[in-house]
Amino acid sequence: MSLLSIKGLVKRYPSDSGAQIDVVRIPSLLVEPGEQILLQGESGSGKSTLLNLIAGIVVADEGEIVLSGENICALSESERDAHRARSLGYVFQNFNLLNGYTSLENVELGMSFGSGVDRSYAKNLLDRVGLGNRQSYRPEQLSQGQKQRVAVARALANRPKLVLADEPTGNLDPTNAKLSLELIQSLCSENGAALILVSHDPGLDDKFERTLELAELNQAGMAGAEGRSA
């Protein structure tokens, strides 16, 4: 069984003129356990919206998203929050770390809504991302690259089956971006997690088993749907 199965997924937003635009219109997409996928597309093409739909942060207008056997689209908001905490890791572009909390606490927060806090595993993850000696630092005491690595450790804290990463290297210099990408990929494969990673960086295709172009995923819906407005 696929880890993630998307069918007939539609998300609309109102445009400036007030008309509804299909931002996401994906007839079908399957993601297998452990698969690593690069998701590309122009700015504004709907990449973040798709990740947020899969995470249950944004609600679909039509279709279904089945993750680990559960159709997210049929869940209430609180059920979606619980499902996300149990099944998903999410690395946001701006990292979304909680200020006022240490690195270790930020990773533990990634556990507290899911399987429960496991301090030794949280420390283990921080070691793994090279921050064993920064456990008690708060986000404002960390560099961009270090914050990003805390965010990666937090995303893996619940041993998720799927990790979503939205332009995780966008705020990093090229050296840190490369290291960080390698770290995300190796942590996902070590943990048997599938990965959907959004990036604009050129030349990443050969580092991924599969590359998806959002415009192509959306294409079937665009054909014939003049201007994609309803």
Residues in contact with ligand ADP by CB under 6 A are 13, 23, 41, 43-49
Q: How far apart are CA 95 and CA 80, in angstroms?
A: 21
Residue 46 partner contact from ligand ADP, Mg ion, none using kind-dependent CB cut-offs of 5 to 8 Å: ligand ADP
User: Which of 49/169 has CB closer to ligand ADP?
Assistant: 49
> What six digits make up the tokens of 207?
């580092």
Residue 34 burial by Cβ neighbours in a 10 Å radius (0-12, 13-18, 19+):
middle
* Inter-residue contact 11 to 60 (CB < 8 Å): yes
Least distance from C-beta 47 to Mg ion, angstroms? 5
In the list Mg ion, ligand ADP, none, the entry touching 23 (Cβ below 5 to 8 angstroms by class) is ligand ADP
Q: Which does 44 bind (CB under 5 to 8 A by kind): Mg ion, ligand ADP, none?
A: ligand ADP
In the complex with ligand ADP, the residue whose CB is nearer, 23 or 126, is 23
Tokens representing residue 62 in the block: 């039509």
Closer residue to ligand ADP in complex, CB, 51/122: 51
Toward ligand ADP, which CB reaches closer, 49 or 180? 49
Rounded to whole angstroms, the Cα distance separating 37 from 53 reads 17
Alpha helices in 12-164 (DSSP H): 47-54, 77-87, 103-112, 119-128, 144-156
Shortest distance (Å) from residue 187 CB to ligand ADP: 23
Sites of contact with Mg ion (CB under 5 A): 47-48
